[in-house]
Amino acid sequence: MSLPAYLILILNLWSLKAESFSAGSRSILREIGSNGNSGEHQDYAVELNATNFDAVLKDDTPATYAILEFFAHWCPACRNYKPHYEKVARLFNGPDAVHPGIILMTRVDCALKINTKLCDRFSVSHYPMLFWGAPTKFLTGGWDPSQVKSEIRVIDDGRTAERLLSWINKQLGSSYGLDDQKFENEHPPSNISDPGQIARAVYDVEEATATAFDIILEHKMIKSETRASLIRFLQLLVVHHPSRRCRKGSAQVLVNFDDLCPSDTCSADKHADVTDNGKGALANIQICGKEVPRGYWMFCRGSRNDTRGFSCGLWVLLHSVSVRIEDGESQFAFTSICDFIHNFFICEECRQHFYEMCSSVKSPFSKAQDFALWLWSAHNKVNERLKKEEASLKTADPKFPKIIWPPRQLCTSCYHSQSSNGNSEDNWNRDEVFKFLTSYYGKTLISLYKEKDLLDNDATNVAIDELVASTNAVVVPVGAALAIAVASCAFGALACYWRSHQKNRKYYHQLYSLKNI
């Protein structure tokens, strides 16, 4: 190649490269940095702008809270603060979040012209500036320093990662740490050899309860013919759910159920209006509280994302209820659980199999032990059936294959013989099985709660007990149950508190009726 031709080629290549950097020298710096800076940290905070702001905060996050950082890319303090902010964002954002579904951490660059009006809406006066609130609150308004009360708060003590996380912990009553690590799917702990692992499931039971009611709302399952079975199940949870947060939330739903879903409106012809409005009211109640983690199964976490999880958490919930009831409640618990699964469990094949097992019971239960053992036996039958199906289809979780429960490692005394584990009736010492179930799904399950002082004193549950029709499957109208509660001197004080609490609250907006889920 001649020298002039070579020079022309070099100039053409240089002009093409220059065009690619038309945005300015910062593009050139980013290009150079992207090639050589292998130590650059991953960004976990979500970049927002005026275009995607509403979509991300409205549709793309299940988080209960959001943090918005307003900054300018030219600001040295903002650049220095970014590593601190990202340390905290790592805990809550992204597919590998340590504590997912709780806080969405975002940032908005106010130096970009597209965001000028957005930053003005929040009266951004300095950089960086952090705001805290529910995601929907950022959609409906802004922030004005002259406002006396606002549901959006300025974070005034977050200049380091440690101080920001400390501020968050104070708001949530939590104890998150910057060194918290994710529980990896690939290395789930064995829940066979260590009976104490079930203590971790108390959080899974909360998540399963919240998920179950999300499904009920999303799939429009509350109808005039299913309304009564939902009330019965709520009555069961109010007294016997292992989580205090879920007992309290279930009681709130139950006490307000006539307002949320009046019997004359929960019908097919008024289906749409009831569900749209009722969903909002129920969402405000949050049946197990605001801090229930989502998608972070602990005891029920499988080695793959499509195994265990919700179904495991629901089974643990049912077993935990079965070992807490009294003899006189056994038939009520049986019909409540059978009807709930039949009407509200969305897996059609599973629902039908469970209903067939319920229908095969010919005599009413008179003892709590009999019901707990029936549920245990039904679960083992389900495991046997699924084990065969999963083996043929190769869909089993390799870390958690279906087994007959409990295995001999956990309860040697549960077996009569030294034969291999099996579900033969002659193979089990049923009295010992019941003792194991009572300890495993009772005391051991809630042991972690006791350590954290999250359980109610038994005396505080006396008033709630009266809301449950514990001796039969006939539904007591919620209004009548509340009237009885007020009239009873044994729990009148707490009932009056509930009434006044609900009256003052009214969810800060008009109560709506439930939509036909």
3 state SS of 331: helix
How far, in Å, CA of 203 to CA of 448, rounded? 10
Where are any strands of DSSP class E within 116-218? 129-133, 153-154
Q: What burial class does residue 196 get, using C-beta atoms within 10 Å of its C-beta: 0-12 exposed, 13-18 middle, 19+ buried? A: exposed
Q: Is 261 a catalytic residue?
A: no
Closest CA to 69 of 91, 42, 77: 77
How far, in Å, CA of 475 to CA of 231, rounded? 7
For residue 11, the one-letter residue type is L
Is-contact 241 321, C-beta < 8 A?
A: yes
How far, in Å, CA of 239 to CA of 165, rounded? 35
For residue 483, the one-letter residue type is A
Q: Is 75 a catalytic residue?
A: yes
For residue 58, the one-letter residue type is K
Q: What burial class does residue 384 get, using C-beta atoms within 10 Å of its C-beta: 0-12 exposed, 13-18 middle, 19+ buried? A: middle
Q: Could you tell me how many residues make up the chain?
A: 517
Is-contact 260 511, C-beta < 8 A?
A: yes
User: Cα dist. 282→12, 184, 256, 278, 317 in Å?
Assistant: 65, 33, 10, 6, 21
How far, in Å, CA of 402 to CA of 488, rounded? 48
User: Cα dist. 353→219, 225, 358, 378 in Å?
Assistant: 21, 21, 9, 10
Instruction: Indicate the helix (H) or strand (E) that contains 172.
Output: helix 161-172
- Report the DSSP pairing between strands 103-109 and 65-71: parallel
Active site residues: 75, 78
